[in-house]
Amino acid sequence: MTMVTKLTGPRRERKKAAIRAKIIGTAVELFSRHGFADVTVEHIADVADIGKGTVYNYFPAKEDIVVAYMTDLERDLQARTMRFAHSSGSLDSILSGFILFQLRLKKRYHPFVRVFLAQMFLRTREFLPYLIEMQKAIDPPLEALFRGIQERGLMREDMPLAEIIHIFKTIQLGLTALWAIEGPPFHATEKTVKQEMKLFCEGLKGRKR
């Protein structure tokens, strides 16, 4: 007689997390190889060797898998780049270092980032709710970064922080798109990031305390 033990507590949560990670990892690999449009939920389930219903239990649509992956990635990246809030140097060197460090961390995911950006630009209306959800992971660390810079007197205080962050994110999106299009070794991207940040920071400089 075989005993069936119901998973409870941490063990059950670990199993759920492992299944979620397997679905995301499989989907990301397939999207990177074949593009977003040519990969179905059935294909993801087959390669992951799990039921299609299991995939839908975790993600109602394949778009949700994309956003889950990008949100997890952004959370990790933002947490690892918070040291820039306390970096020494000029304002433009801090912000260009922040962007370039993030792009270096994303290098291994370059094919997937290209897929994601293509879908975001081609299907903006469908992706808008997912993009809004992603901002919940992106905005708090950015607010902490710019507040820390502002408190150190490196940035003027007479401009709304939310407005500065919005402009910065817009520029960063454009630079990320350039990075995605260019591909390794990203020499043009690195040069452009530094130039863009010099121009951006020219009007933001504060009186260093």
88 plus 36 within the same structural domain:
no
Name the packing angle between helices 9-34 and 62-80 (round to 10°): 100
**Domain stop point among 60, 81, 101:** 60
- Is 177 a member of any domain? yes
- Asked if 84 and 145 touch (Cβ cutoff 8 Å), the reply is yes
Q: What is the pLDDT of residue 4?
A: 43
Looking at the chain, list the stretches that DSSP marks H as alpha helix, in order from N- to C-terminal side. Answer: 9-34, 41-48, 52-58, 62-80, 91-106, 110-122, 124-151, 161-182, 187-202
75 plus 152 within the same structural domain:
yes
Contacts of 78 by beta carbon, 8 Å cutoff, 6+ apart: 137, 138, 140, 141, 142
Q: What is the pLDDT of residue 19?
A: 93
- Is 111 a member of any domain? yes
- Is 70 a member of any domain? yes
16 plus 104 within the same structural domain:
no
43 plus 104 within the same structural domain:
no
Q: What is the pLDDT of residue 9?
A: 63
Tens-digit pLDDT string for the chain (209 aa): 343 445 556 888 888 999 999 999 999 999 988 888 889 999 999 999 999 999 999 999 888 888 888 878 877 777 777 778 778 888 999 999 999 998 998 888 898 888 888 888 888 888 888 788 778 878 888 888 898 888 888 888 888 999 999 999 999 999 999 999 999 899 999 999 999 999 999 988 765 55
111 plus 185 within the same structural domain:
yes
**Domain stop point among 41, 60, 79:** 60
* pTM of the full structure: 0.77
84 plus 143 within the same structural domain:
yes
| Domain total of the chain | 2
51 plus 71 within the same structural domain:
no
Query: Distance between alpha carbon 204 and the CA centroid of its chain, in Å?
Result: 25
22 plus 79 within the same structural domain:
no
47 plus 118 within the same structural domain:
no
194 plus 140 within the same structural domain:
yes
110 plus 48 within the same structural domain:
no
175's tokens: 């630079």
**CATH code, domain with 40:** 1.10.10.60
d(CA 27, CA 30): 5
Structural domain including 34 reads 10-60
Place of tokens 């998973």: 7
